[in-house]
Chain A
Amino acid sequence: MEGVIKDWRNDIYKVFKELDITMVSHVPDAGHTPLINLCEKDNEIDVVTLTTEQDGVGLSCGAFAGGRKSALLMQSSGVGNCINALALPNICRIPFLTLVSMRGEWGEFVPWQVPMGLGTPKVLEAMDVKIFRADYKEEVGSTVDAAARFAFNTNRSAAVLLSQKMIGAKQFKNG
Chain B
Amino acid sequence: MIERRPFVQKILKNRQTNLRVVSGLGTSTWDLMSGGDDKANFGFIGAMGQAIPFALGLAMAQPDLRILLFTGDGDTLMSLGSIATVANHPVANLTIVVMDNESYVETGSQPTATAGKTDLEIVAKGSGISNSYTIKNEKDYDRLIKTIYEEEGPSLVVAKCQAKATPLIFPHSFDGSVSINRFMSTLKS
Contact = CB atoms under 8 A, between A and B. Distances in A.
Contacts of B60: 23, 46, 48, 62-63, 66, 68
Contacts of A84: 46-49
B62 A52 contact: no
Contacts of B81: 50-52, 55
A87 B179 CA distance: 14
Interface in B12-71: 22, 42, 44, 46-62
A56 B84 contact: no
B88 A93 contact: no
A156 to B, nearest CB: 11
B46 A91 contact: yes
Interface residues of A, number: 32
Given A59-B56, A66-B187, A88 B61 contact: no
Contacts of A62: 22, 53-61
Given A48-B89, A55-B79, A94-B180, A65 B187 contact: yes
B95 to A, nearest CB: 15
Nearest to B62: A66
A59 to B, nearest CB: 4
Among A51, A57, A62, A94, residue most surrounded by chain B Cβ atoms (within 10 Å): A62
A65 B188 CA distance: 10
A92 interface: yes
A54 interface: yes
A60 interface: yes
A49 interface: yes
A56 B49 CA distance: 11
B9 interface: no
B189 A67 contact: yes
Contacts of A50: 53, 81, 85
A28 interface: no
Interface in A68-120: 68, 70, 84-85, 87-88, 91-94
A34 interface: no
B44 to A, nearest CB: 8
B60 to A, nearest CB: 6
A79 to B, nearest CB: 16
A52 B181 CA distance: 27
Given A67-B62, A92-B177, A93-B177, A60 B50 contact: no
Nearest to A55: B53
A158 B143 CA distance: 43
Given A23-B57, A52-B81, A55-B79, A65 B183 contact: yes
A59 B57 contact: yes
B56 to A, nearest CB: 6
A84 B49 CA distance: 9
17 contacts: A46-B60, A49-B88, A50-B81, A51-B81, A54-B50, A55-B50, A58-B53, A59-B54, A59-B57, A62-B57, A62-B61, A64-B61, A65-B184, A65-B187, A66-B60, A88-B44, A91-B176
Interface of A: 23, 46, 48-52, 54-68, 70, 84-85, 87-88, 91-94, 155
User: Lowest 7 A-B CB distances belong to which pairs?
Assistant: A66-B61, A62-B57, A51-B81, A58-B53, A58-B50, A67-B189, A63-B57
